[in-house]
Structures are given as structure tokens and as C-alpha cells.
Amino acid sequence: GAGVSQSPSNKVTEKGKDVELRCDPISGHTALYWYRQSLGQGLEFLIYFQGNSAPDKSGLPSDRFSAERTGGSVSTLTIQRTQQEDSAVYLCASSAVDEQFFGPGTRLTVL
């Protein structure tokens, strides 16, 4: 069956621009997660959505980062006024119970 998909697979942007990254979770999965993978920081949790509950935003590094999940399915991670330190691979995962299934990631490069 279909796994977690993310788009775009690669994104190059200029410093100061806004970017939107999309995640399509596995159908029926109630939980959705965003992580960031960078050379200096490894894999970091960003935000977590569970059903209709308020999201856990405790991992967002600054107020330039935000995310939403519409209709309990697709999620968009938005980074405003991008900085060079935002360059990383952004991974999305979804889960039904306890195993998180990861997408291939979006590689973001900020010039």
C-alpha cells in the first residue's frame, strides 16, 4: 500500500523567502510527526499532531516555523523568512498505534 509521501523532494530557496513542505500520511493514521535531520543537530522532533487534539509544538525551533494539519490528514510545514541554518532534510512520519512510518523527506537548501 501507499506509504508516507512528501513533496517536494528537494527545495532550494533564497534566504528570507517562505517555504511550504507537504506531507501525505498513510490513510487512517491518526498521528503525524515532523522531524528535522541536519548535520549539526542530528534528528530532531519538531511537532506532533494526534487526532483532533492540540498539536505538540515543543520542538519547533523558532516562531518562524509553523505547521497545520487539515482534515486530520495532509500536513504542511511552513518556514517563514528562511535562514541558512534551516537547511536540512525535513522528515514526516505517521502512525496508527506505536510504529512511526517515515516518508523520504524533503531536502531544503537555503542559499
Partner 1 sequence: AQSVTQPDIHITVSEGASLELRCNYSYGATPYLFWYVQSPGQGLQLLLKYFSGDTLVQGIKGFEAEFKRSQSSFNLRKPSVHWSDAAEYFCAVGDPFTGGGNKLTFGTGTQLKVEL
Considering only 7, 22, 31, 80, the residue that binds partner 1 (CB under 8 A) is 31
Which three-class secondary structure state does DSSP give residue 17?
coil
Tell me if 72 contacts partner 1 by CB under 8 A: no
Which of residues 35 and 65 has its CB atom nearest to partner 1 in the complex?
35
Could you write out the DSSP letters of every residue in 49-110?
Answer: EETTSPPB-TT--STTEEEEEGGGS-EEEEE-S--GGG-EEEEEEEESSS--EE---EEEEE
Closer Cβ to partner 1, 19 or 34, answer by number: 34
Q: Under rule CB under 8 A, how many of the chain's residues touch partner 1?
A: 26
Rule CB under 8 A: say whether 43 interacts with partner 1: yes
Q: Is 13 in the site for partner 1 (CB under 8 A)?
A: no
Our CB check for partner 1 shows the closer of 14 and 69 to be: 69
For the beta sheet containing 75-79, the strands, ordered from the edge strand earlier in sequence to the opposite edge, are 5-7, 19-24, 75-79, 65-69
Binding site for partner 1 (CB under 8 A): 4, 31, 33, 35, 42-45, 48, 50, 56, 58-59, 91, 93, 95-105
